[in-house]
Amino acid sequence: MKKRSASTTGTRSKRRFCWQQRAACVILAMLITAALAAGCRKVEGRLLRVGLASEPKTLNVWLASDASSRAVLRLVYHCLYERDPETLAFVPWLAESLPVYDPAGKTYTIRLRQARWSDGRPLTSADVAFTVRLIKEFKTPGCSRWKYVLRVETPDPHTVVFRLKKNFATFLSRTLQISILPAHKWKSVANAARHAQKPLAALMRFKNEAPVSSGPFVVRQWRKGAYVYLTRNPYFFGKDKTIAGRRLGPSIDGVLFKFYGTTDVAMLALRKGEMDMYWHHIQPGYMSVLQKNPHIRIVNSPKSAIYFMGFNTRRPPFDDVALRKAVEVLVDKQFIVKRLLQGRGSEMWSVIPEGNKRWYNPGLPRPGQGLNRKQRIKLAFRILSSAGYSWKKPPLDATGRITSRPGELLTPDAKPMAPFTILTPPADYDPARAISGTMIQEWLREIGMPAMARPMEFGALIQQVKVRRNFDAFILGYGRLPLDPDYLRSFFHSRNDRPRGWNISGYHNPEFDRLATAAQREMDPEKRRRLVFAMQAIIAADVPYLPLYLPTLNEAVRTDRFTGWVPMLDGIGNRWSFCLLKAAKGGK
Amino acid sequence: MSLKRYIIRRLAEMAIIFWIIQTVLFFLFHLAPGDPLSRMVDPGMTHEEEMILTEQLGLREPVGTQYLYFLGNFFRGRFGISFHYGRPVARIIAQRLPNTILLFTTAVILSALAGTWLGKLISWRKENRTDKIITVGALVCHTLFLPWIAMLMLWFGAFKLGWFPVTGMISPELWILPQATAPEKALDIAWHMILPMATLFLIHFGSYLLIMRSSMLETLTEDYIFTARAKGLPENVIRDRHAAPNARLPVVTSVGLSLAFSINGGALTETVFSWPGIGRELVFAVSNNDYPLALGCFLLIAAVVLAANLVVDVLYGYLDPRIRY
């Protein structure tokens, strides 16, 4: 009896096992069917799929400080003027023509085009005036540029008059570079924020997930964590218009932004054809694999950026310009570009990147260019010796030959130089900057300088150099410098040497301050250019910042679906590209 | 002590532990080096603008005052506003958490089921070739380096074979279509889950298998197993009805804690597969000094782990009648 019962239990167990097996098989079959069905799906229409390195954090223009948010918003909100992709000169965009400046009345008069918002309402001077008043009232980031604007007048729906307190040259090139917002959409938001305890915070927290657009596309859907989907704006003012010799579209149906956690995965997706463009800098290490794919084109563009070594000129040892100049000749920029950037970049000799043709001073000296290590050490030895530095054991012997192990470097008052650190971001944040720090440390030790490269978490590094000012030297970069050179004033004017100020080096030079103030106010473009050239020459001579290198911006696109990308400073992800892209012949 | 009194005492302990975690985390984040503004400012922003931004984000108050605000808000059910997203932390977590639970909890449950089932079977064939191969295989799986195996899965399954998607949780190309149906979307999610789930399955199942196997081997020496054999019961009945239920206790503890920790996702898995879960958000928040979001994520994890511990302890009483409270 017992035996029968046990065997019955065993049979039941087997039966249950079979049932479980069958259920598992059914689930597996379903998943495989789903995989096959989904795998066979083709992209419909002329939908451009763009890969981003991260999800946009917001579509609120006041909070958008990350690259992904700015990428999406670039297609949604537009400015009055756009840069020509070749000459970088201003081209009227939402404006009808270039502004008319009246020096006597200190006014800029701008005529607007006949344009509409994506909801069909007209875009008028009231929208421009509203945007400016919003900036001034809420003191949004970037508001200080508007402090010289006395008021905005709107004599008619298509004319805006900006009345300035005093002349300043950066009005057109910096101040006016704001996205124009639809007053009818933002009025209620501004009213609500006005009554909040923290008005600016309230304005920045507005979600704006369905922005009313003036650009070629309008946000159709944002599914968090997955994609942002943009479709064509039926009211885009530029459709079929010729601006700066280019007939605008857009010819594509929409843009689908997808997000990729790592560059490795993004590259697999690009090679597999799951995206048409990766809107992010691609490290040189990926190039060889991408180049093998006939459907992928790599676009190398110059960047408006600077990667540099900064010195603390407030305290020893880098309060001495001779020491900074010695460091300058010891640093082999060519080596950094060739080895660390694998040739995808250029050496920097000015604090303005070479791609910014209008303001870059090509006549600056290039100390140490083309020298080998021995020549660099000899040159640095001469600079330091003539400034009163000495060594316990000099790096050059009596015959002028370099000794293998130089002794400690002694300061002009014959004391051993105190060890100093070169702060860098960590290698996982930017390998080029971290390894540059180590290389520079070794180069400086060749002449007896007690240098120590120290990688530091990025936020902590910024706090150390920008807030606490407790550092000797650092290596940092600004990846998106404005095209107007007014940032030189931020970086080096003595007034900005204060906690959280941008004069991190603590550089003080009355002549530079005078030129910077004059350049800000000079309305004659040619005279201003000469002033900016002179400012660059002063910085090159005093070396508070040592420009190191400028990596090329490497972007990749697939050529089998779309053509017509417009190369420009800062890459192909510009408004022109999205207005001019066309479906490739025989494209999938 | 009755179960009720035991639970009340544990809840009181949990509240104290939670408050300690909360306080330590708050001060850790605020005293650690780093600047939440560092990624929001650029050279175009002046000193005054930075000061305005600092004040608006509430960062100008002394840390002690910020702590009191934080506690006050917490007890009113407000977890703060993320510096980065400008949205309430609770809403961000609510958006990400279901994605993490879907992937990680499913993976933990499936690997636990498979691991215990296989562990049970191979313990019965101790020392034979199958047992050796599977045990070594489980050890290898358990020690696999997750990003490596995840990239390998992607490269082979998504790129070489082309059977699976490279990334994400859904196919945007399908979801933007107005005619896409709910079953199609569900299948699409399942399709996207296969590779990350297979990766997690490989990593987790080995440990469950090994725990179950060793627990079963211990159980096999018990007297009641000899008694069952003496009664003449078939081997599969002894294994499934007599040995396995007693051997499952350590697995229950392990699964309970794994389920609790699964809500923090896995930053590495979520990053490699671009899975929009809470693990990625947590790492992002910490590295960007987004204190409110990082605190919100950590506190959620702490709460769930504490609760899971309590549940597992209570469950023990039901699974093992020898345990009394």
Token pair of A177, please?
Answer: 């570079």
Query: Residue B190 is nearest to which of A9, A31, A268, comparing CB atoms?
Result: A31
Q: What is the dihedral of CA A456, A460, A465, A466, to 10 degrees?
A: 150
Closest by Cβ to A204, choosing from B47, B86, B287? B86
The answer to whether residue B127 scores a pLDDT higher than 60 is: yes
Q: What domains appear along chain B, each with residue ranges and CATH number? A: 19-75 (no CATH), 92-319 (1.10.3720.10)
Chain B CB within 8 Å of residue A468 CB: no
Structure-block tokens of residue A135:
């900036």
CA atoms within 13 A of residue A118's CA, in its CB half-sphere: 21
Is any Cβ of chain B less than 8 angstroms from the Cβ of A31? yes
**Percent of chain A, pLDDT > 90?**
67
pLDDT at A36 over 60: no
Which is more confident, B7 or A124?
Answer: A124
Phi and psi, residue B174, nearest 5°: -85, -45
Question: Would the pLDDT of B78 be above 90?
Answer: no
A298 close to B (CB below 8 A) = no
Q: Does B2 touch chain A (CB under 8 A)?
A: no
8 Å CB contact between A324 and A546: yes
CB-nearest to A10 from B55, B170, B237 is B237
* B132-163 pLDDT tens trace: 898 899 899 888 888 899 999 999 999 888 88
Question: Shortest Cα distance from B159 to chain A (angstroms)?
Answer: 6
| A462–B contact, CB cutoff 8 A | yes
| Residues from chain A contacting residue B33 (CB–CB below 8 Å) | 457, 459-460, 463-464
How far from chain centre, in Å, is Cα A205?
A: 23
Chain B from 127 to 146: CB within 8 A of any A CB: none
For helices B89-100 and B291-319, angle between their N-to-C axes, nearest 10 degrees:
50
Provide the residue type at B134 as one letter: I
Distance CA A323, CA A327 (A): 6
Please report which confidence band the pLDDT of residue A26 belongs to, taking 50, 70 and 90 as the band edges: confident
What part of B 78-107 touches A (C-beta under 8 Å)?
Answer: 81, 84-87, 95-96, 99
- Are A123 and A179 within 8 A, CB to CB? no
Per-residue buried b or exposed e for A422-458, using 16+ beta carbons within 10 Å of the residue's own CB: bbbbeeeebebbbbbbbbbbebbbbbbbbbebbbbbb
Chain A residue closest in CA terms to B277: A225
Number of H helices, E strands in chain A: 17, 27
> pLDDT tens across A59-116, in order?
999 988 888 999 999 999 999 999 999 988 899 999 999 999 888 888 999 999 999 9
For the segment B6-13, the average pLDDT, to the nearest whole number, is 90
Tokens 């199958």 identify what position? Answer: B130
Pick from A283, A279, A304, A300: nearest CA to A480: A304
How do residues A308-349 score in pLDDT, each as one tens digit? 999 999 999 999 999 999 999 999 999 999 999 989 899 999
Antiparallel, parallel or unpaired: β A90-92 and A100-102: unpaired
Sequence-separated (6 or more) residues with CB below 8 Å from residue A455: A423, A424, A425, A426, A427, A434, A437
Of A3, A14, A482, the CB nearest to B232: A3
Angle between helix B63-75 and helix B3-31 axes, rounded to 10 deg: 140
The answer to whether the complex's ipTM is over 0.85 is: no
Asked whether residue B270 carries a pLDDT value surpassing 70, the answer given is yes
Whether A379 has a pLDDT exceeding 80, the answer reads: yes
Give the three-class secondary structure for A44: coil
Between CA A227 and CA B193 the distance in angstroms is 17
Residues of chain B in contact with residue A7, where contact means CB-CB under 8 angstroms, are 234
* Two tokens, residue A109: 């008069």
Burial of residue A60 (CB within 10 Å: 0-12, 13-18, 19+) is: buried
> Would you give the distance in Å from CA B260 to the centre of its chain?
6
- Is A100 an interface residue toward B (CB < 8 Å)? no
Mean pLDDT of A498-523: 92
On whether the CB atoms of residues A91 and A99 are closer than 8 A, the answer is no
Give the mean pLDDT of A1-18: 46
Closest CA to A141 of A100, A179, A92: A179
Distance CA A549, CA A303 (A): 11
pLDDT for the residue B197: 92
Tell me which chain B residues have a C-beta less than 8 angstroms from the C-beta of A43: 173
Beta pairing, strands A306-311 & A545-551: antiparallel
For the ranges A144-148, A367-371, B96-100, which has the lowest average pLDDT? A144-148
Contact yes or no for A328/A501 (Cβ under 8 A): no
| Whole-number Å distance between alpha carbons of B282 and B296 | 9
pLDDT band at A554 (very low <50, low <70, confident <90, very high): very high
